[in-house]
Structure 1
Amino acid sequence: MRHLPLFLLLLALSVCARAVEPRWLVAPAISPDGQRVAFCYQGVLYVVDAKGGEARPLTTGNDYATLPIWSPKGDQLAYASDRYGNFDIYTLPAEGGQPVRITFGSQTDTPLCFTPGGDSVLYRSLEMPSASSALFYARWTGGIYRVSTKGGPADLQLPMPTGNACYSPDGKSILLEDLRGVENGLRKHHTSSTTRDIWLYSVGTGKLERLMTRDGEDRNPVFAPGGQRFYFLSERDGGSFNVYEAPLANGADAKAVTTFAKLPVRYLSASRSGVLCYTFDGQIYTQTPGQEPNVLKIDINRPNDQMDSVNRTLTSGAHGGVISPDGKEVAFENHGDIYVSNIEYGNTRRITNTPGMERSVSWAKDGRTLVYAGERNGSWNLYLAKIARDDEKHFAIATEVLEEPLLVTEKETFQPLFSPDGKEVAFLEDRTKLKVINLASKQVRQLTDGRYNYSYSDGDIAYDWSPDSKWIALTYNPKHRWPNNEIGIISASGGEIFNLTLSGYTDSNPRWMMGGDMLIWSSDRNGLRSHASWGAQEDVYAFFTSQEAYDRYRLTPFEFEELGNGKKDKDDGEKKDDKKGKKDGKDKDEVKPIKLDFNHAEDRIVRLTIHSSDLSDAIVTPDGKSLYYLCSFEDKYNLWKTDLRKKTTSKVLDVNTSGGAITLDAKGENILISAGGSLVKVDLKGEKQKKVAYSAPFTHRGQAEREGMYDHAWRQVVKKFYRSDLHGVDWDYYRNAYGKFLPYINNNYDFADLLSELLGELNASHTGSGYRHAGGPGAASTASLGVFFDRGYKGPGVRVTEVLRNGPFDKADSKVKPGSVITKINGLAVSNYGQLPLLLDQQAGKRIRIDVKNGGTETSEVAKPISSGQLSSLLYDRWVEQRRHEVDSLSHGRLGYVHIQAMNGSSFRTIYSDLFGRYNDREGVVIDTRYNGGGHLHEDVEVLFSGKKYLDQVPREHIVSEQPRKRWKKPSVMLVAEANYSNAHGTPWVYKTMGIGKLVGRPVPGTMTSVWWETLVDPTLYFGIPIVGYVDSTGHYLENQQLEPDYEVWMDYQRLERGHDSQLEKAVEVLLQEADRVKASSPWPKVEEKFLK
């Protein structure tokens, strides 16, 4: 059944939204006396009577204000605001007034609660850790800090990564929820080691007690009156999030307070008397335990200043650019609409004007017709756009462009491509079936049935028409070795696919060249190998469709010039044929059928590039003389050229882009590079580039666009989720259950949360949505000095406890050492640690002057602060170095240590180098995969660590090497934890299943799927869908199948703060025992004694 677009279902509601009670009210907090509720609606902070009524705004709406918390007396509120690009903590009077910023810096700060005296605020943040801490530094691992309501330096209260926290009535304890992994916070219904637990922290003694021990979500704890019981949100009993109550003495003895179904309860708070406040179904509820919930009827009379549509001009962000046949225009997509721009003058014509999405534009041979795909009416369909008037030759100057549907069905039909003769259009149906529609008859024929293709992300299946419109070259997967595709050729009339490449390597992007004499593609068979599923270097290969074309290619420059392979005679014959054709009235543009000889095709395949590279796209000029290709050898992509006759290669132009596509005009005189949101035309005769400047008129319809993006994401799940049963979720129900809130959302923060709530119902990893908030020109960007400070030092100045290796002060002549006091930055006095974010804002990479005091000596020096990303990298290197020394110390030099930072090629190279460099003579190695976010490395890790010794190399009774030399042959143990994600679940699973070694640490949640993170039509928004599952020999998916360690060890955060890693200590203990066992039972030491004199 066709599903109507959501915007049609919501049209009536959106029209009258201002006249009804607002929905999607978030982050409510009830006041301590239970009389008022603060909440957030559309990024504005409000206060309303606890019985409902008219809400009073406290903020202006120029920022996004959220997560309010009340002071104990109820006279102040603290909240988070993105006024300076990131979320900082602000306070303001509960009756309204001027907000006061109390935290600074470009990290995210989240308010948790006031201290009992009301003079400070506890908040969660990722700040520079203490020098003693062994906690891994990552975006989610921040601890609890305490800052005065007047601002100033913040003190670390608890190093444990925390979600929510609140003080007990007597101020002696803090209830908190932990954070142990990277799973989206709005995922629902999962039971794993990464779900949140509730803990009790004793402020006086520092004791931490875990109150919940179940593998399921328990979060958002608040104390009940008296402080002996607490309320919290939980998904226990197999339902959605509801409010529960439990005694501190026995957290397992929990009783349900609410019994809502299908949708989650969120944002729990409580007054001193125990009145609860929370949200459900987009509304705010209050409830006295033992009584029925009461929904607040809230009226917001703030005028809606959101315009239904805003006209803008787009000058960047173009994608999918293709040059017109005559080389004068370029068609492209920008923010979901199709445009055509004149390359020389920049005049731009908007072709489509919808809040949805159009893409994959293709030119007809006449240059007056376009075909593209549009997501409308519940599916992707094909549309034609034509210049209406005969006297207007180009789109950019056309006064009228007519659109007509070419193919509208319930199927997904997109990626259209005009045949060179302009009579047909090839397209994909349901992403894998290649079909062709005849423009005259509108008849559709199927070329492939989809068995030999799989589409990971939309647009990843490439195909190309032959110049005579008789054949189509395509990528396909006939041997079940995805993503190692082959290149095939199929008749445009249908039939069997001819496998051209027959390769175990990855072949992609086929394109016909030289009038059909040549087919080129990319292959990684000769490039530097990747140790993951991506990153291998590629070359351009060519297949010559006939022996004649191949023989001509093989001529030397001398032979080509002297003999011409009959070129003159051939040209004379063609000229005579042209004259005869004119007399006969034949079409002078008629293309002759290409000669396509499949016999011994492999003998006519050649490598065109002379060096492998990170290859993006390529074309060959019609005369076959030159190969132009876009590639990278370092960071950016540039245009290179190979003279195919002389076999010389040179860089033609510095394009300095991030990769992209090349299209060639019909005459072969110009190419267009579409890359990185920009369009560049290159005149091949002069080899000069010209950036295509365009001014694309764009109408931004925020409400309609959000509805379209929501509907798009919902449909993508239907079409691409890794299981067709969608985990048994009633997806139609949830589409409407969450979609009804769209008329009340006017910003991307709320939209990303709404979409995450929808996707969270799937109970799958790799879901949720995110908002890439740019921050604007005034956004904070805090640099770092690359040193650890003594937070207890009272000043004046800040005292250094450690200088980071490779940081700004790790220099031979630097006077900044442990014990140094920094007193000034750029001449401004530093009174305490809290000033640093302001003094270092926007200073990364800039020369600044630092005044330093060492004892009684004062000096100054120049340094360049580093960015937050550079700081993170240095802290990671330090963390690894500390683990390495710890293993070395605990094992007395017998064991090695490697950390796999990510499941990618660079991480593999690092551990490979360490294994056979630092640790080749060690008896075993600890493999640490904790805090690894994934990638695709399980095969490589399995091969690397599963080696078995079978030979020694012994010249003249002297052992010089063991074999195998490229695989680790000694014992190992693998460290795992709750924060292992995606392939960092799959890799330990393979390691354990294949019997390579033991796992030590905490259980790993079952998240082994492959994901597509799709950027939406608004490029600041994205969402994830797990689209490839992995099934074991019992027929079970690894997704949601938790991996249990052989030795379970909880992380003690307080010991961790003092530098002790309990999990690492256990791993060393286990591995030493295994090394002793192997050493005692192996025959090789006896053999080696024979040769070791």
Structure 2
Amino acid sequence: DFKAGAKPVKITNHTSEGVRKARISANGAALVYECGPDIYMIETSNPSKPRKITIKALVDDKTNTDRLVTFTQNASEFAINKDESLVIFGVHGDLYRMGISGVGKAVRLTDTPADDFGVAWAPDSSKAAFLSDRSGRIEVYLLESEDVEHPKFTEAQKFKVKQITNDEKPESNLTFSPDGKKIYFLRVGKLWSMNLDGSEQKEVVSLSMITEYSWSPDGKWIVYSRRDGSFASELFIIPASGPTKENPPKNITRYATSNYSPTWSTDGKRIAFVSERRNTPGLFVMEMQKPVANGKTNLDSGAIDFEEIHSRVSAVGSMNTTDAVISPGGSKIAFRSGDELWVASVTGGLVTKLSTGAVKPQGIYWSKKSTDLIYFRDGNGSLRTAKASSAIAGADLGSVSFRIKMMIKAAEENLEIFDQCWRLLADYFYDAKFHGADWNLVRQRYRPMVIHAPMKEDFQALVFLMLGELNASHLGLQMIVNPLEEQTPELGMLFDETFKGKGLKIKEVIKRGPADKRGLDLKPGEIIFAINGVELNPMVEVSQLLNGKNDETVALLVGVEIPPDPKTKNRRTVEITPMLRERIAPLLYERWIHLNAQKVSEMSNGRVGYIHIPGMDDAGLDRFVRSLYSDNFDKEALVLDVRFNGGGFTHDQVLNYLGAQDHTKFLHREGDKGAVLRSYDRKWTKPVILIINNRSYSDAEIFPNAFKTLGLGKLVGQPTGGMVIGTGSTKLIDGSTFRIPRIGVYTNSGVDMDTVGVAPDILVEPNPDDFKKGIDAQLQKAVEVILKDMQSGDLKKTGKEKILTPMR
């Protein structure tokens, strides 16, 4: 009933599935909607009995479900054997062996629809171990020769695979011990070891959240990186057999920010690693032994002086670094900075760029056989080489070429992707109770439908249905699909929607847009009568005239609302190049921000400033800091706005600028007085109010919760969406990206912030009529409240914590 004041009436009563995509007929007599995999119809005059619509469609597949694909890149990983004659690499879930020179045919080692990955060579190259989900869980498998004619694994053409672990918890990061007698691996963040047949499985380090580890060359020590609950990671060294009471793990960094990517020099005297110090990840080298006085004897190679070892660290340059590998001799380090490969001396005195063209190096491996050679995988999944001595960036890059033909069956591939999505959440979703869902039952319900969804769009929708059972945020599957061949750009103007005549009447020209050019002289009130000679009328679809024209000039016939007069020439032709929406959107955002700041200034007579933070990321932080210092620091109060903020992880950085108290004054002999000596240390100490809405997302919810908890000011607007989880992403077998919510976020009172939004102190729901009139009621209320509180002195009273009802 659409009458004013009418109450909504529930007309469906589905229990196991939710209603989606409801549509009403033109005469209002019936509704159709989706529920689960089915379509239902319901008569509005008799809504008690929804009717399931039976659809039988006998059609052929729209495409060939089996496709022969040739891969010359897209390698997911690679591993080089000890004598550096062979490489094993992964492509689309299978493993291949090939000569390191790239000459000759690649030999297929595994052949299943499952994902085989994480391969490691045995030190003597007699076998390899790898991880696979072929059993439905991530387990460790041993790969050996089964070739009578070529019994050596390095020459074999036939292979046998043996599963050597069987545990519900997933394994990762497997390696052979340097003597080849043991296999080490991580199991849910704990370090384990076992014999080659899987027997005598032993927990080497019982503490969880180990992210990576590296063997000392002599096999006596292991260095590992372990993260704590605040994302800080330290490096520890233990005996390879495991720590003991007498010889516990030794913290060798003692700088609890982020320390990772450790590698040893071949003499065991140095470890290179990445450490985040002063908010920037950089390259560091640690000496394992103390300096030796003249005439004194060095310790044996591999011996470690643990006393004050954390102080024997030196920075190598000052570049932002993500991955690093020390050279065998310990004199140089290869590392990634930005999207390129670099090499530096351990003293930092010589830094050379080895690559160009954004190669995005991964899995960097420094040859022990030819110490001038570095192997890596680029961003396209090609195996590449670089010379450490290269003097010209990009001049000495090479390739380890491969060419693989693979028949991929769509049904098998989709089942594997579905299983990967389900299993990744089964293993890593932050809530072990899955928000109340029976996760095994969810798999049983949706997996049989996979074979009925061969098209990517349908299959992705099916996965989304499964994800919806969790009622959680930060979930998603981004599949690789062909981009749109044509896109529709825009003219960069706003038009008068009330105009009833022919053409488009200009209401506003968007600043810095395609229509805002010197010499065009387009003005509000003018009318666009035609585009590229096509006269505009209600029957003409403007978007069709602009489709695919983003790189082309279009001709606009422009004039005023009177009949054309050849004598006065009140119509003219203007040529402009339209812009895609992705380029227009930032301009519209700047327009919105400008109007908001203008309204706040007008309402407060210039006393109150306004800052919108578009995202809790570096760009949003930069905008906040610039606006705070340059535009608003002299204001008496501040309206802070995180509506439509997409999140990130800079809440603490923003909070660092708010709520402090001046403690000291600095006075120049001639000039102004200041509270700090460094400009970037200035804090906002005056009143502030925060606007939120239901599209304040993720970290833009953590921020207002902290704002309220710390008593910095009042919240105005709508409750936030309740979509807060710490998430990461991983690649699936076909290259698709899948998001995994791994970390829960809770308030001090223990409320799970996922599905429970942050409540405002002053609730202001938006009104569609206000939107049409250009009225921002939430902004107006924020200014009214802070002006009133400035007058009364009630500046930081937020009231008791409001707990919203969970949305599950």
TM category (shorter chain) comes to 0.7 to 0.9
**1:883 Cα offset (Å):** 1.0
CA contact (8 A) 2:473 2:754 kept: yes
Task: Give the corresponding residue for 2:700.
Answer: 984
Task: Give the corresponding residue for 2:181.
Answer: 423
Task: Give the corresponding residue for 1:611.
Answer: 318
Q: Deviations over 1:237-269 (max 9, x none)?
A: xxxxxxxxxxxx222xx35x5443322344545
CA contact (8 A) 2:170 2:427 kept: no
Q: How many residues align?
A: 770
Instruction: Go from structure 1 to structure 2 and tell me whether the alpha carbon gap of 1:347 and 1:858 turns closer, same or farther (over 3 Å shift).
Output: farther
Q: Is residue 682 of structure 1 aligned with residue 436 of structure 2? A: no
Task: Give the corresponding residue for 2:363.
Answer: 661
Percent pairwise identity:
26
1:547 partner SS = coil
CA contact (8 A) 2:558 2:574 kept: no
Q: Deviations over 1:855-892 (max 9, x none)?
A: 62776676554332211111112111111111111111
What amino acid is aligned across from residue 107 of structure 2 in structure 1?
R
Q: Is residue 969 of structure 1 aligned with residue 724 of structure 2? A: no
Q: Deviations over 1:371-397 (max 9, x none)?
A: 221012221011233455598699898
Task: Give the corresponding residue for 1:927.
Answer: 640
Q: Provide the rounded CA distance (Å) in 1 between the counterparts of 2:759 and 2:577.
A: 46
2:665 partner SS = strand
Task: Give the corresponding residue for 2:804.
Answer: none
Aligned equivalent of 1:437, options 188, 191, 194: 194
Task: Give the corresponding residue for 1:995.
Answer: 711
Q: 1:322-341 counterparts in 2 under 5 A?
A: 322-341=79-98
Task: Give the corresponding residue for 1:383.
Answer: 141
CA contact (8 A) 1:416 1:428 kept: yes
Q: Provide the rounded CA distance (Å) in 2 between the counterparts of 1:346 and 1:492.
A: 38
**1:984 Cα offset (Å):** 1.3
Query: What is the root-mean-square deviation of aligned Cα atoms in Å?
Result: 3.5
Unaligned runs of 5+ in 2: 561-568, 797-808
Deviates more, 1:266-275 or 1:661-670: 266-275
Q: 1:893-972 counterparts in 2 under 5 A?
A: 893-955=606-668, 960-962=673-675, 966-972=682-688
Aligned equivalent of 1:488, options 236, 240, 264: 236
Instruction: Go from structure 1 to structure 2 and tell me whether the alpha carbon gap of 1:933 and 1:323 turns closer, same or farther (over 3 Å shift).
Output: same
CA contact (8 A) 1:952 1:959 kept: no
Q: Is residue 1059 of structure 1 aligned with residue 766 of structure 2? A: no
CA contact (8 A) 1:815 1:852 kept: no
What amino acid is aligned across from residue 606 of structure 1 in structure 2?
S
CA contact (8 A) 1:1010 1:1029 kept: yes
Q: 1:519-668 counterparts in 2 under 5 A?
A: 519-526=271-278, 529=279, 537-547=280-290, 594-608=302-316, 610-613=317-320, 615-632=321-338, 637-644=339-346, 647-658=349-360, 660-667=362-369, 668=371
What amino acid is aligned across from residue 290 of structure 2 in structure 1?
Q
Instruction: Go from structure 1 to structure 2 and tell me whether the alpha carbon gap of 1:998 and 1:350 turns closer, same or farther (over 3 Å shift).
Output: same
**1:313 Cα offset (Å):** 1.4
Q: Is residue 730 of structure 1 aligned with residue 435 of structure 2? A: no
Q: Deviations over 1:142-197 (max 9, x none)?
A: xxxxxxxxxxxxxxxxxxxxxxxxxxxxxxxxx8xxxxxxxxxxxxxxxxxxxxxx
Instruction: Go from structure 1 to structure 2 and tell me whether the alpha carbon gap of 1:425 and 1:730 turns closer, same or farther (over 3 Å shift).
Output: same
What amino acid is aligned across from residue 388 of structure 2 in structure 1?
L
Q: Provide the rounded CA distance (Å) in 2 between the counterparts of 1:818 and 1:397.
A: 77
Q: Provide the rounded CA distance (Å) in 2 between the counterparts of 1:829 and 1:295.
A: 47
Instruction: Go from structure 1 to structure 2 and tell me whether the alpha carbon gap of 1:466 and 1:993 turns closer, same or farther (over 3 Å shift).
Output: same
**1:978 Cα offset (Å):** 0.9
Q: Provide the rounded CA distance (Å) in 1 between the counterparts of 2:443 and 2:669.
A: 75
**1:472 Cα offset (Å):** 1.4
Q: Deviations over 1:657-686 (max 9, x none)?
A: 345331123313422222323322113355
Task: Give the corresponding residue for 2:805.
Answer: none
Q: Is residue 713 of structure 1 aligned with residue 421 of structure 2? A: yes
Instruction: Go from structure 1 to structure 2 and tell me whether the alpha carbon gap of 1:1052 and 1:274 turns closer, same or farther (over 3 Å shift).
Output: closer
Q: 1:115-264 counterparts in 2 under 5 A?
A: 200=2, 249-251=6-8, 254-255=9-10, 257-264=11-18
Task: Give the corresponding residue for 1:372.
Answer: 130
Task: Give the corresponding residue for 2:256.
Answer: 504
Q: Provide the rounded CA distance (Å) in 1 between the counterparts of 2:575 and 2:83.
A: 57
Unaligned runs of 5+ in 1: 1-174, 176-199, 203-208, 212-248, 455-460, 530-536, 553-562, 571-591, 1082-1093
Task: Give the corresponding residue for 1:1007.
Answer: 723
Q: Is residue 876 of structure 1 aligned with residue 589 of structure 2? A: yes
CA contact (8 A) 2:315 2:348 kept: no
Deviates more, 1:933-942 or 1:981-990: 933-942
Q: Provide the rounded CA distance (Å) in 1 between the counterparts of 2:656 and 2:545.
A: 50
Q: 1:30-179 counterparts in 2 under 5 A?
A: none
Aligned equivalent of 1:787, options 493, 500, 504: 493
**1:780 Cα offset (Å):** 1.9
Deviates more, 1:287-296 or 1:981-990: 287-296
**1:927 Cα offset (Å):** 0.5
**1:331 Cα offset (Å):** 3.0
What amino acid is aligned across from residue 524 of structure 1 in structure 2?
E
1:299 partner SS = coil
Instruction: Go from structure 1 to structure 2 and tell me whether the alpha carbon gap of 1:888 and 1:277 turns closer, same or farther (over 3 Å shift).
Output: closer
Task: Give the corresponding residue for 1:358.
Answer: 116
Q: Provide the rounded CA distance (Å) in 2 between the counterparts of 1:740 and 1:410.
A: 23
Instruction: Go from structure 1 to structure 2 and tell me whether the alpha carbon gap of 1:317 and 1:1053 turns closer, same or farther (over 3 Å shift).
Output: farther
Instruction: Go from structure 1 to structure 2 and tell me whether the alpha carbon gap of 1:655 and 1:462 turns closer, same or farther (over 3 Å shift).
Output: farther
What amino acid is aligned across from residue 418 of structure 2 in structure 1?
Y
Q: Provide the rounded CA distance (Å) in 2 between the counterparts of 1:366 and 1:795.
A: 83
Q: Deviations over 1:626-684 (max 9, x none)?
A: 3222212xxxx122222346812232321413453311233134222223233221133
Q: Provide the rounded CA distance (Å) in 2 between the counterparts of 1:376 and 1:1038.
A: 36
**1:936 Cα offset (Å):** 1.5
Q: 1:16-27 counterparts in 2 under 5 A?
A: none
What amino acid is aligned across from residue 424 of structure 2 in structure 1?
Q
Q: Provide the rounded CA distance (Å) in 1 between the counterparts of 2:168 and 2:124.
A: 30
TM-score by length of 1: 0.65
Task: Give the corresponding residue for 2:215.
Answer: 465
Q: Provide the rounded CA distance (Å) in 2 between the counterparts of 1:866 and 1:269.
A: 34
What amino acid is aligned across from residue 759 of structure 1 in structure 2?
L
What amino acid is aligned across from residue 649 of structure 1 in structure 2?
V
CA contact (8 A) 1:322 1:672 kept: no
What amino acid is aligned across from residue 223 of structure 2 in structure 1?
A
1:741 partner SS = helix
1:516 partner SS = coil
CA contact (8 A) 2:286 2:312 kept: yes
Instruction: Go from structure 1 to structure 2 and tell me whether the alpha carbon gap of 1:840 and 1:463 turns closer, same or farther (over 3 Å shift).
Output: farther
CA contact (8 A) 1:340 1:395 kept: no
Instruction: Go from structure 1 to structure 2 and tell me whether the alpha carbon gap of 1:959 and 1:785 turns closer, same or farther (over 3 Å shift).
Output: same
Q: Provide the rounded CA distance (Å) in 2 between the counterparts of 1:625 and 1:551.
A: 21
Instruction: Go from structure 1 to structure 2 and tell me whether the alpha carbon gap of 1:957 and 1:593 turns closer, same or farther (over 3 Å shift).
Output: closer
CA contact (8 A) 2:260 2:273 kept: yes
Q: 1:1034-1049 counterparts in 2 under 5 A?
A: 1034-1049=749-764
Q: Provide the rounded CA distance (Å) in 2 between the counterparts of 1:841 and 1:394.
A: 61
Q: Provide the rounded CA distance (Å) in 2 between the counterparts of 1:646 and 1:1080.
A: 52
Q: Is residue 302 of structure 1 aligned with residue 50 of structure 2? A: no
Task: Give the corresponding residue for 1:283.
Answer: 38
CA contact (8 A) 2:93 2:114 kept: yes
CA contact (8 A) 2:263 2:326 kept: no
